[in-house]
Amino acid sequence: MDKIIFTGPVGAGKTTAIGAISETPPVGTDVQCTDQYRQLKEKTTVAMDYSYITLEDGTRIHLYGTPGQERFSFMWNILTQGGIGLVLLINRDHSDPIAQMEFYLDAFKDFINETGVVIGITRSGMDNNTSIDDFQQKLLQRQQIFPVFEVDARSTDDVKLLIHALLAVLQV
């Protein structure tokens, strides 16, 4: 099963990004938020989001969005099995988006080493202090050079660019 995994914290735009490029609206497993995230979002994904794109020869590329909350992290390893690569979305509006980026890069370290990752920074229109340079500085400290782009998860072009960069990384 060929699949691209979308991951990132709650509210980063995973479901939205999948919807921006998939052929059908993502099938979700969203339920009412009852924990501390309820102020951030009304609903949250508890298992996965799913949609797909179909290639010319009929092959389906499955698009999976992981649940953002850490308590559902047991799903992350399950979902990455057989995956082609990882799209990590980080919400720049968070109080410490760089720490979040590090967390997910560590959580998916093995999968990233086997395949590849591209990082999309969402909510970049907001006034906030964390710049793309800050994310890249942290990656430099970690001796990692990954694509990091400011994206709008609602924008088909932006999400396609993320996938394109991921494909370029995978082909090298």
Partner 1 sequence: MSKITHTLTIQASQQPIINVYKIYQRNYLKKLFVMSMEIKIAVTTLSEEDSKIISSALQMLADAGKKFTTSLRGIIDAHLLVIDADTEQGDHALQSSTAGQVKLLLATSPASGKNIVAVKKPIEIQSLKLLLEKLFDKMHDQLVRTTMMQVQTEHKVEIQQSTSCKTMLQVLLAAKNNKTVLRICSTQFPDVFIDGTNNSMASTIPQTEVVGFVKQPLDNVVVDQLKSSEFAVHSNKMNIQSLHNTLWVAAIECSNGQLLPDNSLDIPIKLRAWPNFTRNSFKPEYLQLAAILAKQAITLSQLQQLSGVPLKEIINFYNAAHAVDLIDKVEKDTNEPAATKPAISAQKKGLLVKIALRLGLGK
Q: Which residues make up the interface to partner 1 (CB under 8 A)? A: 2, 21, 53-57, 59, 61, 84, 113-114, 132, 136, 139-140, 145-151, 158, 160-161, 163-165, 167-172
- Cβ-contact 59, 30 below 8 angstroms: no
End-to-end CA distance of the chain: 22
The residue among 34 and 127 lying less far from partner 1, judged by its C-beta, is: 127
Residues composing the chain: 172
The residue among 109 and 160 lying less far from partner 1, judged by its C-beta, is: 160
| Tokens encoding 134 | 């800050």
| Tokens encoding 100 | 């979040």
- C-beta of 163: minimal distance to partner 1 in Å? 6
- Cβ-contact 134, 148 below 8 angstroms: no
The 8-class DSSP code of residue 25 comes to P
The residue among 61 and 107 lying less far from partner 1, judged by its C-beta, is: 61
- C-beta of 98: minimal distance to partner 1 in Å? 14
Strands 117-122, 60-65: pairing is unpaired
Between the alpha carbon of residue 159 and those of residues 19, 32, 100, the distances in Å are 10, 27, 20
- C-beta of 132: minimal distance to partner 1 in Å? 5
The residue among 105 and 151 lying less far from partner 1, judged by its C-beta, is: 151
- C-beta of 46: minimal distance to partner 1 in Å? 28
- C-beta of 114: minimal distance to partner 1 in Å? 8
The residue among 40 and 132 lying less far from partner 1, judged by its C-beta, is: 132
